[in-house]
Amino acid sequence: MRHAAHQAANNSRQYIRTSRSLFSTGSGAHSAKAVRMAQMTQSNGAVLGLDQAVVERLNEVAPQTRRALREAARAAERRSHILTSASLAALVGTAATAAALAGPDDIKGSILADTATTTQLKRITTDVVSRSEDRTPLSALSDGAVTDTAAASQQTAASTDTAQIASEGDWQATGDASQLDVNQMSRSLANNPQVAALMDQDYNVLPAGFNPNHATGDSGNAYSFSQCTWWVYVRRHELGLPVGSYMGNGNMWANSARALGYWVDNTPRHVGDIMVFAAGQAGADGYYGHVAIVEQINPDGSIVTSECGASMNGKTYSKTYTNPGDFQFIHY
Least confident of 143-147, 175-179, 198-202: 143-147
Long-range CB contacts for residues 307-310, cutoff 8 Å, separation at least 24 = 307/228, 307/231, 308/226, 308/227, 308/228, 308/230, 308/231, 309/226, 309/227, 309/228, 310/224, 310/226, 310/227
Are 291 and 305 in contact by the 8 Å Cβ rule? The answer is no
- Helix ranges (H only) for the chain are 2-23, 32-42, 52-61, 66-101, 104-107, 138-142, 148-159, 193-201, 228-238, 253-260
Q: What does the pLDDT read at residue 52?
A: 72
Per-residue pLDDT of 204-215, as tens digits, reads 999 999 999 999
Per-residue pLDDT of 274-317, as tens digits, reads 999 999 999 999 999 999 999 999 999 999 999 999 999 999 99
CA distance 93 to 87: 10
Q: Is the pLDDT of residue 251 over 50?
A: yes
Q: Is the pLDDT of residue 328 over 50?
A: yes
Q: If you ran DSSP here, which 8-state letter would residue 318 be given? A: E
Cβ neighbours, 10 Å, residue 320: 10
Q: Is the pTM of this model over 0.85?
A: no
Q: What is the share, in percent, of the chain residues with pLDDT greater than 70?
A: 55
Per-residue pLDDT of 2-26, as tens digits, reads 555 555 555 555 555 544 544 455 5
Are 276 and 331 in contact by the 8 Å Cβ rule? The answer is no
Q: What does the pLDDT read at residue 172?
A: 59
Per-residue pLDDT of 111-158, as tens digits, reads 444 444 555 656 555 555 555 555 666 666 555 544 455 555 555 555
